[in-house]
Chain A
């Protein structure tokens, strides 16, 4: 098992990546980071899920019970903050909310960070969403895969003004969306697009105001755009 700090190159940390997060113990990577990964999975999914599957890899798979990694992941999917004392009771609360959960362990590949999990979120009658993410230390996380797309999404404090867009492949398909963002006076910092077959997924990092849910949903009406999810709500964790 090779542990490596997979830090974004040329990028700086916020003071609050070092100070904090405020969290329920015992481990910032196995509990705090796990909860954050659950939150991101939930934010990437449309609607309230009724089933979630966690596939634990590496150190997550071997020592998850003692660190309550399982409860923290599930709590994150239920939108609990890392500091929520109810993380301890995540199983009971999920049962009460009729959220079915399954934990498995598997080898997700040698290249993955030792603290990695695959999360599959489902709801009857809807398309499921899967994500692979790693907890890289001190509560910092990164997402390396969303559905069939390889991505690199870093969960660094204060840097969550991000849109995730599922769309058809094509160079100009995002143009109307970009124009709309401009209308909201939002500056696009960068766009990272991954293509697989006829489909594509773009991660748009923005600067400027925060979009509300209505504005985000309006972006889905453009031709060739399937889903748009905003991670803005995660910003204040």
Chain B
């Protein structure tokens, strides 16, 4: 009854039941896994708590990842909050810091919530937890935002892919930007249409980005793409609430993502055979890890 695979389905459900995306996502999940509302919400709360811990870990206990490629950037962004004349708002800086902290915790084999994947796990908690904190929003609003974000992720998973091995970075950090911006737009009181519009704006700006990690490890450039992805998600939400409309509807942006994934060379899909992975620095890391030279 609450099943949806496209933005069109989702908007129709919201209209029919006169409710928001989060509520439809919760009702869908209750139906899907045959669990009560309280149980379903508690499951999301558990994920939210893991997100918080991962952020704290990255900021307060920074650790270097394998081959010392990452670690320690999140505290720098927190320090920058005290600096004058930063271009980004304190909220955006905090979102960037949290996204970075999650990515760094992940790279150091800490505990995170994949959202939607581990490689793109920073954007959603970064944006949504920073907003909750700075704007003093309730936990309920935050959990609703996370359900909205998941609904967007589901549309992308069913219409295209959430695997960088299949679709490049647009399928991980790109999907995360679409999810975060829709979630935060709902938290700010946006309508379902404004949420999906924000998702279109966010995802469009990240279409075509490839997956080219050094040595195939989730560290460089993944973490910093999460950092800047958080800023993009906030910008897309602002743009949507300012009334800017995406000329291309969300379902068609997802179609474009799938089309790009199909054309994208396998060398640019998590194989470490192209892009940043084959720069002199990338090749140096490759050698250090002990991967065979590229023919």
Contact = CB atoms under 8 A, between A and B. Distances in A.
A26 B161 CA distance: 20
Given A18-B153, A32-B118, A137-B166, A26 B146 contact: no
Interface of B: 3, 5, 25-26, 28-29, 32-34, 40, 43-44, 46-47, 50, 65-67, 105-119, 121, 146-147, 149-151, 153-154, 157-158, 161-167, 171, 179, 215-219, 266, 269-272, 289-291
Per DSSP, chain B at the interface is helix
Nearest to A21: B114
A22 B216 contact: no
B113 to A, nearest CB: 5
Given A18-B153, A26-B118, A5 B112 contact: no
A92 B33 CA distance: 37
Interface in A12-36: 12-32
B118 A3 contact: no
Given A22-B47, A25-B109, A63-B272, A137 B161 contact: yes
Contact of A26 (B43, B115, B219): B219
Contacts of B217: 26, 63, 66-67
Q: Which of B167, B270, B271 gathers the greatest number of chain A CB atoms within 10 Å?
A: B270
Interface of A: 1-5, 7, 12-32, 59, 62-63, 65-68, 83, 85, 87-88, 114-115, 136-139, 157-158, 207
27 contacts: A5-B163, A14-B29, A16-B43, A17-B154, A19-B153, A20-B47, A21-B113, A23-B113, A23-B118, A25-B111, A26-B65, A26-B106, A26-B218, A27-B119, A59-B216, A62-B216, A65-B289, A66-B215, A67-B218, A83-B50, A88-B109, A114-B271, A137-B165, A138-B117, A138-B163, A139-B117, A158-B32
